[in-house]
Structure 1
Amino acid sequence: MSEETMKDAEKVAKQVGHTLRRIRKERNISLQELAEFTEVSKLTLGKIERGEANPSLTVIWKIANGLSIPISTLLAETQQVAISRKNEGNKVLSTNEELMLEPMFTNAGYGSIETHRAFLKPGGEYYADAHQAGVIEYVTVMEGSVMVQVKNEFYELNTYDSIKFSADQEHGYLNRNSTPAVLHFVMIYTKS
């Protein structure tokens, strides 16, 4: 990992930790209760809250799903006017480091929509657990091509192709090419 990537990871860890602690306190939830809601260990949650652990994308999704919030709530930076430039925002890596997600235009509240830029390495795969009920996912391939798996069905998407599906089921992204794929995600939260 480069020095810049490590600094980004530290920034994300502190942001997620601060926001998680704030939400947990607002809801009057103990770390043990949060561990039960999220299926993330109490020890890991404590380290995340203190900014001592850099949570993977999978862990962030588990926390967001357990709290019934968009993941952008955990990653939000507060600003009145925001420009989202490639490689300048928060970055979250999947556990296997095949997918890098950059949240875009997040807000500090519990918004009902969020957008992300994602970069899937050549030959890379990323599988997501089911998100919370009511999440609709829209994905557009901006560069390259990917296979999108929703349950047991596969859909081939090329540059500028888009797909929409209920994200409260297992799904994944596969880049079978020798070049990176760039994806644009829009998540709509239809239930609060």
Structure 2
Amino acid sequence: MRNIQKNIGVNLREIRKKRGLSLDAAGDLTGVSKAMLGQIERGESNPTVTTLWKIATGLQVSFSSLIMEEPSMVHFVKSGDIQPIMEYNGKYRVYPVFPFDPTKKFEIFSVKVEPKYEHISQKHNEGVEEYITVLSGTLELEIDGKIYSLETGDSIRFLANKEHIYRNRTSDSSTYQAIIYYP
């Protein structure tokens, strides 16, 4: 995978230009400043998970459409080659395993949550579904005010059009796989 910052910058610029949006207009839609969008497009900024979700939601595109690279017939992914998108000094790391493919309408991530960390995920567009499977550790997931406790091997599916919060209340790291479906 080429440099993820470069992918994000190239893809954001391409999406924005195809829609005929200025940086100001894109900023109005996403809630991300014109200056920050410009820095991201030039590869000068390493945006957080929250910032990328704001951009994806505001532009009504998939999260990984911002990080994807050109498709191939076979895509072999070595875990050590995936560059994570990080939040809060690496306490929440999203590894884009299989970025969005418009013909399949889903993307797959592996996410690592460090001990005692909480990530608030803004609501996604209508109809977007998340499928979560805990690979290691324990994860608490709050969806629309209701709390679900997941342990290794547990899975949950939900409509992601409501704020949802991922929490690791333990003293050990937690890892989960997320499949996000876009209707």
Q: Shorter-chain TM-score category? A: over 0.9
Query: How far is the alpha carbon of 1:107 from its aligned partner?
Result: 4.7
Query: How far is the alpha carbon of 1:124 from its aligned partner?
Result: 1.7
User: 40-49 vs 122-131, which deviates more?
Assistant: 122-131
Alignment match, 2:10:
18
Within 2, Cα distance between the matches of 1:142 and 1:124?
17
Deviations 1:89-113 (CA, angstroms, capped at 9, x unpaired): 2310124532100111225658621
Alignment match, 2:98:
105
1:77 aligns with 2:69: yes
1:90 aligns with 2:93: no
Distance 1:165 1:90, change over 3 A: same
User: 59-68 vs 84-93, which deviates more?
Assistant: 84-93
Mind listing any 5+ residue stretches in structure 2 that lack a counterpart?
none
1:69 maps to a residue whose letter is: V
Alignment match, 2:178:
185
> TM-score, normalized by length of structure 1?
0.89
Query: How far is the alpha carbon of 1:44 from its aligned partner?
Result: 0.5
Alignment match, 1:52:
44
1:156 aligns with 2:136: no
2:81 maps to a residue whose letter is: E
Query: How far is the alpha carbon of 1:122 from its aligned partner?
Result: 1.6
Higher strand share: 2
SS at 2:69's partner residue?
Answer: coil
Deviations 1:63-115 (CA, angstroms, capped at 9, x unpaired): 10011111111110224121222231231012453210011122565862111
Mapped contact 1:132–1:168 kept (Cα < 8 A): yes
Within 2, Cα distance between the matches of 1:56 and 1:110?
27
Mapped contact 2:108–2:180 kept (Cα < 8 A): yes
Within 1, Cα distance between the matches of 2:153 and 2:166?
15
SS at 2:181's partner residue?
Answer: strand
Distance 1:14 1:35, change over 3 A: same
- Identical residues among aligned pairs (%): 35
Alignment of 1:135-174 (within 5 A): 135-174=128-167
CA RMSD in angstroms, aligned pairs only: 1.8
Within 1, Cα distance between the matches of 2:145 and 2:89?
22
Within 1, Cα distance between the matches of 2:104 and 2:89?
28
Query: How far is the alpha carbon of 1:133 from its aligned partner?
Result: 1.7
Deviations 1:19-59 (CA, angstroms, capped at 9, x unpaired): 10011111111111100110100111011111111110000
- Aligned pairs, how many? 182
SS at 1:105's partner residue?
Answer: strand
Within 2, Cα distance between the matches of 1:111 and 1:35?
29
Mind listing any 5+ residue stretches in structure 1 that lack a counterpart?
1-7
Within 1, Cα distance between the matches of 2:157 and 2:45?
33
Within 2, Cα distance between the matches of 1:181 and 1:95?
16
